[in-house]
């Protein structure tokens, strides 16, 4: 993951937590229009950020494994040609 992807994921996490906290505080104050909407939206955004972070981490790991296998096969080819 590059810095931009990390920044976007951190922003989404913070936005989700912010919406959750604001929604819960609105529910405590008795606003009936937003009751459940802000916390639900916050939980969804935070969950999507966590899922996207996990997918990005796994794809990075998969790319590293593939690169290592390619490097190992190249080394074997060089050894076989000598």
Which residue in 47, 20, 48, 18 sits closest to 36, CA to CA? 20
The pair of three-digit structure tokens given for residue 27, joined into one six-digit string: 């529910």
Q: Tell me the per-residue pLDDT of 4-57, one tens digit each, with 9 for 90 and over.
A: 878 888 888 988 888 888 887 777 777 666 667 778 888 888 888 888 888 877
* Residue 53 near residue 72, CB atoms below 8 Å: no
Count: domains in the chain: 1
The pLDDT, as a whole number, for residue 6 is 82
- Token readout for 66 is 């593939």
Give the domain extent around 40: 3-81
């Amino acid at each position: 993951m590059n810095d931009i992807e990390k920044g976007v994921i951190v922003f989404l996490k913070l936005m989700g937590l912010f919406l959750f906290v604001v929604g819960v505080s609105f529910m405590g104050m008795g606003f009936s229009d937003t009751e459940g909407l802000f916390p639900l939206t916050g939980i969804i955004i935070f969950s999507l950020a966590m899922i996207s972070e996990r997918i990005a981490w796994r794809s990075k790991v998969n790319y590293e494994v593939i690169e290592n296998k390619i490097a190992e096969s190249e080394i074997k080819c060089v050894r076989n040609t000598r």
